[in-house]
């Protein structure tokens, strides 16, 4: 057990190190830099070469790539990503509230999506091959296939234009309290929720079908245990354990992959901040957002692996 835990933790640390290399290289090959964005073409043409070199030196753009990577890696270990190139504001202060807001949106979605997906996936597996299963499976495929910006646009048209029940965009600021964001975030949550429930329900349906068809469940039925206990106390836990990794990865993807939803509804999360950073060529800010998003994927995947080790004796034996 201890060796398996150490192996997974070591692999996660190695993955995080490789991610720092990838993020740094990916931002290095972006065209232009912060100086190109902060100065107009006329200012660049009029500025003497000596002054231009001095500005690059002030922004640290003249340092070798390896030296910049060493500084980036040392800061990432301390969660200190430096300052923005133009305004010289601390990157950690800029990222903190958008990260909180994206985590809040993802948590609200998961709090509703997981129990709903478990109920739908269990019902579909129970009615496997019958009309309810066909209807649920079809709805899940459609819900997962339709792009989120299409779902968001339809929800805005229906619930913000035709029936003005909710605001079309969020007017809250980045640093507003959590309840203020949630109060105006019904449509963004619903937009992400549709695809999330469809995806998770399909995974749980497959796991439930395999669990209900297993020998252990058949033996339990022969002992005369009520069917509801067989389904909810024995088959459902057996179906959820193999799905933990997929659920953890999807939870991480919610935080790092809801850029479109945040842009559609003007939600003040990491997505909007990343678009602004790319527009301004704020390399340090792009690196911080990309690395934090990737680190969440790695850490949630590690948490899922450790949970499976604890809950499933077969993995410990292997």
| Predicted local distance difference test score (pLDDT) of residue 153 | 86
Please check whether residue 82 lies inside any domain of the structure: no
For 143, residues 6+ apart whose C-beta sits below 8 A from its C-beta are 194, 195, 197, 198
Please check whether residue 85 lies inside any domain of the structure: no
Please check whether residue 153 lies inside any domain of the structure: yes
What domain count does the chain have?
Answer: 2
Please check whether residue 88 lies inside any domain of the structure: no
| Predicted local distance difference test score (pLDDT) of residue 316 | 56
Judgement on whether residues 172 and 237 belong to the same structural domain of the protein: yes
Residue burial 110-120, b: 16+ Cβ < 10 Å; e: rest: beebbeebbeb
| Predicted local distance difference test score (pLDDT) of residue 208 | 86
Q: What is the pTM of this model?
A: 0.76
Judgement on whether residues 167 and 18 belong to the same structural domain of the protein: no
CB 236 within 8 A of CB 122: yes
| Predicted local distance difference test score (pLDDT) of residue 101 | 87
Judgement on whether residues 217 and 290 belong to the same structural domain of the protein: yes
pLDDT digits (tens, 9 = 90+) for 14-49: 888 888 888 888 777 766 555 655 555 556 566 677
Domain that holds residue 32: 2-77
Judgement on whether residues 20 and 162 belong to the same structural domain of the protein: no
Judgement on whether residues 71 and 148 belong to the same structural domain of the protein: no
Q: What percentage of the chain carries pLDDT values higher than 90?
A: 1
Q: What percentage of the chain carries pLDDT values higher than 70?
A: 86
Please check whether residue 9 lies inside any domain of the structure: yes
What burial class does residue 286 get, using C-beta atoms within 10 Å of its C-beta: 0-12 exposed, 13-18 middle, 19+ buried? buried
Judgement on whether residues 7 and 123 belong to the same structural domain of the protein: no
| Tokens linked to 172 | 């809250």
Q: Virtual CA dihedral for 48, 52, 54, 59, nearest 10 degrees?
A: 160
What is the Cα–Cα distance from 301 to 310, expressed in whole angstroms? 14
The list of the chain residues with pLDDT below 50 reads none
Judgement on whether residues 190 and 110 belong to the same structural domain of the protein: yes
Please check whether residue 84 lies inside any domain of the structure: no
Please check whether residue 293 lies inside any domain of the structure: yes
Place of tokens 């996936």: 121
| Predicted local distance difference test score (pLDDT) of residue 292 | 84
What is the Cα–Cα distance from 47 to 101, expressed in whole angstroms? 41
Please check whether residue 219 lies inside any domain of the structure: yes
| Predicted local distance difference test score (pLDDT) of residue 33 | 58
């Amino acid at each position: 057990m201890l060796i398996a835990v150490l192996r997974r933790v070591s692999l996660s640390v190695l993955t995080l190190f490789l991610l720092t290399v990838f993020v740094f290289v990916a931002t290095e090959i972006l065209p232009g830099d912060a100086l190109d964005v902060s100065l107009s073409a006329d200012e660049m043409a009029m500025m003497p070469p000596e002054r231009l070199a001095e500005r690059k030196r002030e922004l640290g753009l003249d340092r070798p790539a390896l030296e910049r990577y060493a500084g980036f890696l040392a800061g990432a270990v301390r969660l200190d990503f430096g300052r923005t190139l133009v305004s010289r504001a601390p990157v950690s202060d800029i990222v903190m509230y958008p990260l909180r807001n994206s985590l809040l949106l993802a948590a609200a979605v998961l709090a509703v999506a997981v129990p709903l997906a478990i109920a739908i996936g269990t019902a579909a597996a129970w009615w496997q091959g019958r009309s309810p299963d066909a209807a649920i499976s079809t709805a899940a495929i459609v819900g997962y296939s339709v792009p989120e910006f299409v779902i968001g646009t339809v929800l805005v048209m229906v619930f913000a234009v035709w029936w003005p029940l909710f605001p079309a965009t969020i007017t809250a600021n980045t640093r507003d309290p959590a309840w203020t964001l949630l109060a105006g975030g019904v449509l963004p949550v619903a937009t992400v929720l549709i695809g999330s429930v469809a995806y998770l329900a399909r995974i749980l349906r497959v796991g439930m079908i395999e669990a209900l068809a297993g020998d252990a469940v058949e033996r339990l039925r022969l002992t005369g245990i009520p069917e509801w206990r067989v389904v909810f106390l024995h088959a459902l836990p057996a179906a959820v354990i193999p799905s933990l990794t997929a659920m953890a990865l999807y939870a991480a993807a919610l935080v790092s992959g809801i850029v479109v939803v945040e842009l559609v509804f003007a939600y003040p999360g990491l997505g909007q901040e990343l678009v602004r950073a790319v527009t301004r060529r704020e390399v340090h800010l792009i690196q911080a957002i990309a690395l934090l998003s990737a680190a969440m994927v790695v850490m949630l995947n590690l948490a899922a692996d450790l949970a499976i080790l604890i809950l499933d004796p077969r993995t410990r034996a292997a």
